[in-house]
Structure 1
């Protein structure tokens, strides 16, 4: 890495921020990162550190340069940094855990890439979920790490189910910001502007995914407070983008399939939250991961659906070390 221009490293890291939403465009990453700093300097700092550390680790371990340049090695580090500071607080041990955790996400990304490749699937944000889940769950056992009460775990049973127009538009934007564990409508707006630079199709997929999440949550009787906070909709946004704008070709059948998946991830969010709640586990983006894996694994048997060609979120290969495929 050190023989390359530092600018290439910074560009790869910035793309890593955008790749949380499966987009490598620089402006997308820049707007998302700006939104994270707007959410608070601690969130912005740890998102930046996490992405830089994961990307640097990929360079150090000799990961495919095309994969690195497209940001595919940095996005789990970005989310891990945010998860650790929001769950454990801002103190010296959090920095140490961020360095270790974000470095390990790079290794785990390689592991999952190898295991999933025969099935035509990619790791998505699973490295983040596994590393952050283990660290946050184990932190209370260590006095030098733990610095307070656990971060609140969403209760899928609390609150009323009435909804107003104000609730709806807040939910529409916070569904986008909650992907990054941020409850803020204006941060979601900034991120949506960034997604617009990735193309109209990506923006529409994100917007429709957010709407699908809101409608499904309301129809199922989810608490209004949690809908407004984006707890029930952020996975739907990710599924909408992944299935509707990245992994499948642009056809009406594929679009309908993506919106079905977005709505399904909403129900799965409640199930996984309830499963994790007894031991203070965190849902993170597991509903998005499991829903997308299930939907994409089924595609070869569903002949009305067509995968994107070439693959929009490629598996790294060593045969073309300098090549990267844009989303």
Structure 2
């Protein structure tokens, strides 16, 4: 029983850290602290999603290493956060979180298997996006934008820095700059280079939002920062050249603008599309290189 509890704790902490593409227990713990300090209801929703996705993977007999690495927890955690944000911590929200979290597990398993066996594109948070759109449709808010709750009391004097760290917080629907700062500390603990790129991506996204006519309060809420932050973070981990994550930042911003034009909540889809575009471009370039005569 003791070993099962340790296994569950490790899977849970790694699962929440995988939202930022990390496998790090300390990072996961700090992320949960950031959520709890901002909103205890959101923390409960995230934990319920984590447990739902993780336990379903265990019941279905999926790879123990994948489960402990948190690969079946992070999409379910994001779904728990989204649903709790929309409905509050009510019985219906708990039921939807459990159902969507459990459903995200076989979807994630399929994506992982295709990536490993057929070199398909990585799924990242695709399970969360697809099921998140479904949940938003069920709740009747698919034609709107689900924004993080802004606390009534905000620290003054943060300025642009507050907006940048909010960009990190918006990955988890947190609009509090202190929560964003805690998330940045969690990333620093796991991977300093990834933390720096995530902060850079958020900063560029917010700056471009201001350039394209967004009001200062809207831009500094961080909603334009989280997709480029994730894209920069993900690409910096597999590409040493700074040009690649910089390209990912630009693409994530473009895709976010396209979703704004479509009127569809982007969630983390711009980040996914940006990484897919870079990956496909690299494969095409390598394929052409392989066809050149020696």
Q: Normalising by the residue count of structure 2, what TM-score does the alignment of the two structures yield?
A: 0.87
Verify the 8 A CA contact 1:154 1:273 in the aligned structure 2: no
d(CA) in 2 for partners of 1:110 and 1:3? 27
Verify the 8 A CA contact 1:87 1:150 in the aligned structure 2: no
d(CA) in 1 for partners of 2:119 and 2:205? 28
Which residue does the alignment assign to 2:289? none
Verify the 8 A CA contact 1:87 1:151 in the aligned structure 2: no
d(CA) in 2 for partners of 1:113 and 1:227? 35
Which residue does the alignment assign to 1:301? 284
d(CA) in 1 for partners of 2:270 and 2:146? 14
Which residue does the alignment assign to 1:268? 255
User: In the alignment, is residue 228 of structure 1 matched against residue 220 of structure 2?
Assistant: yes
Verify the 8 A CA contact 2:72 2:105 in the aligned structure 1: yes
Q: Secondary structure at the match of 1:19?
A: helix
Q: 1:205 aligns with which of 190, 194, 197?
A: 197
Q: CA deviation at 1:300?
A: 2.5
- Higher relative helix content: 2
Where in structure 2 are the equivalents of 1:1-327 lying within 5 Å? Answer: 5-117=4-116, 118-140=118-140, 153=145, 166-245=158-237, 247-248=238-239, 250=240, 254-275=241-262, 277=263, 281-302=264-285
Verify the 8 A CA contact 2:17 2:74 in the aligned structure 1: yes
Which residue does the alignment assign to 1:310? none
Verify the 8 A CA contact 2:144 2:265 in the aligned structure 1: no
Q: CA deviation at 1:138?
A: 1.8
Q: CA deviation at 1:57?
A: 0.8
Q: CA deviation at 1:83?
A: 0.3
d(CA) in 2 for partners of 1:221 and 1:40? 31
Which runs of 5 or more residues in structure 2 are unaligned?
148-156, 287-294
d(CA) in 2 for partners of 1:66 and 1:209? 31
Q: CA deviation at 1:269?
A: 1.1
Verify the 8 A CA contact 2:34 2:182 in the aligned structure 1: yes
Which runs of 5 or more residues in structure 1 are unaligned?
141-148, 156-164, 304-327
Q: Secondary structure at the match of 1:282?
A: coil
d(CA) in 1 for partners of 2:138 and 2:227? 25
Cα deviation code 1:31-83 (max 9, x no counterpart): 11110111111001111111111111111111111111111110001100000
d(CA) in 2 for partners of 1:204 and 1:3? 38
Verify the 8 A CA contact 1:86 1:151 in the aligned structure 2: no
Q: Secondary structure at the match of 1:24?
A: coil
Q: Secondary structure at the match of 1:239?
A: helix
For the structure 1 residues 62 and 232, does the alpha-carbon distance in structure 2 shift closer, same or farther, using more than 3 Å as the test? same
Which residue does the alignment assign to 1:308? none
Q: CA deviation at 1:116?
A: 4.3
d(CA) in 2 for partners of 1:116 and 1:297? 13
Q: CA deviation at 1:151?
A: 9.5
Q: CA deviation at 1:267?
A: 2.5
For the structure 1 residues 17 and 65, does the alpha-carbon distance in structure 2 shift closer, same or farther, using more than 3 Å as the test? same
